Amino acid sequence: MAEEVKLLGFGGSPFSCRVEIALKLKGIQYEMIPQELANKSPLLLEHNPVHKKIPVLLHHGKPICESVVILEYVEETWKGVPLLPEDPYERAMARFWAKFIDEKCLSTVWKACFSKGEEQEKGMEEVLGLLKTLESQLEGKKFFGGDNIGFLDIVADFAALWLGVLLEVAGVDLLNDSKLPLLCKWIEEFNNCPVVKETLPPRDMLLKFFKMQQAATGPQYK
């Protein structure tokens, strides 16, 4: 049965990359329809009128929006490599920490990296606290998902690449073995996974993009 799977996405977005990693793990063929962030295409506006944002998965023409909603959809639609644990409690933990990343970590990191002076100092303290809390979930594990990457690792993709780039642009040394040993180890392991390697954008491209953002007035997208 020919599946028609398309992704309205953007290679530089961690949210879009989440979906690509999940689809690749499941071995799903899909067509990437790259979107421009500033110029929203009619296709994007038609399929995500509420938020007008990528990623949008189109399965047999039907849109699914919001990266975490898409991940759950991919998990439930296609068998094969499981993304979520089987145990209901472990699933609840994965969902809890995914929310923690999206609702607490991301915005705190953005804000801290694009602020200055005392505000940045305070922001970075908060970032360190949040990341220490997150890395505690890696205790005794190779990945958040255990021996293999899973739902929470995919949601944490931001930490594997964008986090380091943003901290570099901000000139802050936070992501090192003495401050965040478990997270640093995880970043290495995560980035070594074949599907991750072929999905994440080149670091130097991101660095260039965010340096331009720094020079302007702040991040163009979240």
Partner 1 sequence: MATTDDVKLIGAWPSPFVMRARIALNIKSVDYEFLQEQLGTKSDLLLKSNPVHKKIPVLIHGHKPVCESLVIVQYVDDVWASDQPILPSDPYDRAIARFWAAYIDDKWFPSLSGMARGPTEEAKKAAYEQVVEGLALLEDAFGKCSKGKPFFGGDRIGYLDIALGSFLGWIRVTEKMGNLKLLDEAKTPHLVKWAENFCADASVKDVMPETDKLAEFAKMLMAKAKSAPPN
Site residues, partner 1 (CB under 8 A) = 50, 59, 62, 64-66, 68-70, 72-73, 76-77, 88-89, 91-92, 95-96, 99-100, 133
**Alpha-carbon span 214 to 79, nearest angstrom:** 42
Q: What is the DSSP letter of 65?
A: E
Q: Which two tokens stand for residue 216?
A: 């302007």
Q: 91 vs 179, which CB is nearer to partner 1?
A: 91
Q: 99 vs 208, which CB is nearer to partner 1?
A: 99
177 exposure class (CB count in 10 Å sphere: 0-12, 13-18, 19+)? exposed
For tokens 């995500």, name the residue: 48
CB of 70 to partner 1, least distance (A): 7
CB of 91 to partner 1, least distance (A): 6
User: In this structure, are residues 92 and 34 in contact, taking their beta carbons and an 8 Å threshold?
Assistant: no
User: In this structure, are residues 12 and 221 in contact, taking their beta carbons and an 8 Å threshold?
Assistant: no
User: In this structure, are residues 82 and 150 in contact, taking their beta carbons and an 8 Å threshold?
Assistant: yes
CB of 66 to partner 1, least distance (A): 6
Q: 128 vs 207, which CB is nearer to partner 1?
A: 128
CB of 214 to partner 1, least distance (A): 27
CB of 90 to partner 1, least distance (A): 10
Q: 49 vs 146, which CB is nearer to partner 1?
A: 49
Give just the sign of the alpha carbon dihedral 189, 195, 199, 204: positive
Q: 86 vs 204, which CB is nearer to partner 1?
A: 86
Number of Cα atoms under 13 Å in the Cβ half of residue 62: 5
